[in-house]
Amino acid sequence: MQRYYLIAFEIVMLILLYFCLKYAWRHGGWPAIWVLFAGVIFGWLLEWATIMQLSAYEYGNFILKIGPLPLCIGIGWGVIIYSAMLFSDASSLPEWARPLLDALLALNIDLAMDAIAIRVGMWDWGQGLNFNYFGVPYANFWAWFWVVFSFSAALRLLRHLPSWAGRWLAPMGAITLSTLVVLGTNALIVYVLWPAGLSETSNAFVLLSALAMVMALQPKFNQRPMEPLVFWVPFAFHITFLIMGLHSGVILQPPILLIVSLMMLAIALYLHRGVFSKLFVEKVVSSQKAGETSEV
């Protein structure tokens, strides 16, 4: 039964990649496609490098793999980073703060996803289901923050290079710089902070500081029109793992997992409410127009 969940996740990731590619082509052509694929390549590379560096986890029996790693994992990183950056670019945040928001948006997904994923066999941290955050090491959230923050920050910085360099070399530079940052922060928490008993304190300090900085700036969202894509990517992750958890029953082991999943979904819906309401209004208006046309 668990294999079905893995296959379902792979299908969802391929669907999201298709729509991200479609959007990127329509709004930026090949340079935008390259940015999206750079996120996918970075996602695969960081997973491979982390496993080689730390051997902290292993993946389940997915179908589509490149070497030892599932293709869907790289795609997942790519579409999360891509949609988060589209969302933050439409906010009132200054450019330097947008990578902070991108990382926090990704964490919103992982807080609802990771504990369910290990219970349906997608990956295994090897620590049991009662370790730290329902079986997920706290250091995982430290890693998620630095993964998304570093790629977003590096890409935004390098895009200021003149002409073709900003379009074509910036994504490659972002892959290189952010991979080095991720490996460095991995080593920091595992080999320095953890032995010193400071890993959880450092994790909390980084994440809460990022949240405090973003909130202090009082960002306004939807400052310019956004495509439905920025809503559908996080929504698809939340709904996929909520359904998996309910269907398998693991979301009630313990029941607080259901509460956490619903809370993270509610936060995502609130943050993306501008896009969500636009989708709803457009659907109602189109339905009304269709009804008027049929009457005529």
Residue 241: what residue type?
F
pLDDT digit string, tens, across residues 237-296 = 999 999 999 999 999 999 999 999 999 999 999 998 888 777 666 555 455 554 555 554
- Whether the per-residue pLDDT at 25 is higher than 50: the answer is yes
Average pLDDT value for residue range 149-163: 94
The whole-model pTM stands at 0.92
Helix 71-89 and helix 229-248: axis angle, to 10°? 130
For 94-157, the DSSP string reads -GGGHHHHHHHHHHHHHHHHHHHHHHTTSEE-SS-TTSTBTTB-THHHHHHHHHHHHHHHHHHH
Rounded to whole angstroms, the Cα distance separating 195 from 280 reads 51
Residue 281 pLDDT: 60
pLDDT digit string, tens, across residues 117-142 = 999 999 999 889 999 999 999 999 99
Handedness of CA 171, 188, 95, 39 (dihedral sign): positive
Average pLDDT value for residue range 223-249: 92
Q: How many domains does the chain have?
A: 1
Strand partners, 65: 70
Instruction: Give the gyration radius of the chain's Cα atoms.
Output: 19
Residue environment code for 132-161, b if the CB has 16+ CB neighbours within 10 A, otherwise e: eebbbbbbbbbbbbbbbbbbbbbbbbbbee
CB 70 within 8 A of CB 138: no
Average pLDDT value for residue range 210-224: 92
Rounded to whole angstroms, the Cα distance separating 109 from 145 reads 12
Rounded to whole angstroms, the Cα distance separating 181 from 187 reads 10
Strand partners, 59: 123
Residue 287 pLDDT: 54
Average pLDDT value for residue range 1-26: 93
Domain carrying residue 189: 2-295
Rounded to whole angstroms, the Cα distance separating 98 from 18 reads 25
Residues in the chain, total = 296
